[in-house]
Amino acid sequence: MNPATPKKTDALDDLLTRLTALHPKRIDLTLDRMWRILAALDDPQKKLPPVIHVAGTNGKGSTVAFMRAILEAAGLRVHVYTSPHLVRFNERFRLGRAGGGVLAADDQLRDALDLCERANGGQPITVFEIETAAAFLLFARNPADVLLLEVGLGGRLDATNVIDAPLASVITPIGMDHPEFLGDTLAKIASEKAGIIKKNIPVICAEQPDEATAVIERTADRLRAPLHTATQQWHVNIERGRLVYHDERGLLDLAAPRLFGRHQFDNAGLAIATLRAIDKFRIESSAFEQGIASAQWPARMQRLSNGALLSLAPKDSELWLDGGHNIDGGRVIAAALGDLEERVPRPLVVIAGMMGNKDAAGFLSNFSGLTRHIIAVPIPGNDNAMSPQALADAARSLGMRVDIADGIEAALRSIAQLAYEAPPRILMTGSLYLAGHVLAANGTPPQ
């Protein structure tokens, strides 16, 4: 390791700590602070490559990962902004390069954040807002063909929603999450997500609950935004294990996604529909094939096939990791586990850690017919995490067998002491923050 690396990382961490202190006393979703800091920075959001803007509750990151892989397979340079990160802050900022992107380096991030800090002048601003301003600086400074821009929270008042005319607005599946900010019904949440729709800009939408669909259709109609909706303007199916996509331009018969789970076929379909709806890109079928088959997105039904944690689990067991944390996220994880069980039956143990504002019982209820054993763990270093005791109580309310461990490592050791008729399938889930800790402890951080 370069001896200078720790110093660079420490300097970036110190800067992020300083910026955190500027956070408003109360989170109020507004774009006023973004417009202020962007004006002070000479409006970098007006100097970006063409933008594809992505909102939704679940599947945003996977859909972005598919689009990035396809576009890069087509030879394009692709900037990517996503959140949260799993292990390193740098994961949020991927700079497009010929032949594939790279994560922004510490010194690039520090320089951009320093400039944002000076431009902000000590005024209240959320960490995500100042990070987003820094991202726009980085992306404006580095040439690329396209920017994939993921919404942080909601859409209408999210810090990313300062782009006047994106190439497309993409809405992934909408479900109940963050009701304290977005509203307590699907219609209210959908209204916030639909806030990224712009006049005359195409909207590509995943299949949604009826309540959400109605809101999106009204918004698109009001803004005269062409709407491309799953099961209406485009279709994706699984046939003989392959992904078959169809729209008015024809059919694509592609290899299955590398990302595991039936839901990833839908996410891949949304990525394909988006890129086919944008006139700017003419992508060959070979790039779709290569991108779908090669896309990676850590902590989404990721099997850990190497790393330090495998040595703690029972011999020949399977270790799976997913950062799902809401009811719908739990549902698609459970469906993927059901598929695994049909192929190779194994006893399932779920190690779960969650944030304090999540519906633990709703999330865990998805696994009640699949697992015999829940182990509740804390999320290290996170003051807003749910206590293992509260998480265990939620599991017990569902009639589940539950134990408590003081961490992932302890949970794996406890499983290794138990007798199973076959090596178990172990799922670590409940939070992206927990997933980040797992990847760091395993020695396999995202690259």
DSSP-derived letter for residue 230 is B
Which positions ≥6 away from 117 have C-beta within 8 Å? 15, 18, 19, 130
Tens of each residue's pLDDT in the chain, 447 residues: 333 333 445 778 888 788 777 776 566 778 999 999 999 999 999 999 999 999 999 999 999 999 999 999 999 999 999 999 999 999 999 999 999 999 999 999 999 999 999 999 999 999 999 999 999 999 999 999 999 999 999 999 999 999 999 999 999 999 988 888 899 999 999 999 999 999 999 999 999 999 999 999 999 999 999 999 999 999 999 999 999 999 999 999 999 999 999 999 999 999 999 999 997 888 999 999 999 999 999 999 999 999 999 999 999 999 999 999 999 999 999 999 999 999 999 999 999 999 999 999 999 999 998 997 999 999 999 999 999 999 999 999 999 999 999 999 999 999 999 988 899 999 999 999 999 999 999 999 998
How far is residue 36 CA from its own chain's centroid? 28
As a whole number of angstroms, the longest Cα–Cα distance in the chain is 64
Structure tokens at 33: 């602070």
Structure tokens at 357: 């504002």
Domain borders along the chain are 4-294, 302-442
CATH of 302-442, one of 1.50.40.10, 3.40.50.700, 3.90.190.20, 1.10.1370.30: 3.90.190.20
pTM: 0.93
Q: Vertex 114, ends 94 and 34: CA angle to 5°?
A: 75
Helix 432-442 vs helix 408-416: crossing angle, to nearest 10: 70
H helical segments located in 398-431: 408-416
Superfamily covering domain 4-294: Mur-like, catalytic domain (3.40.1190.10)
What 3-state DSSP class applies to 132? Answer: helix
Question: Cα separation of 116 and 40, whole Å?
Answer: 9
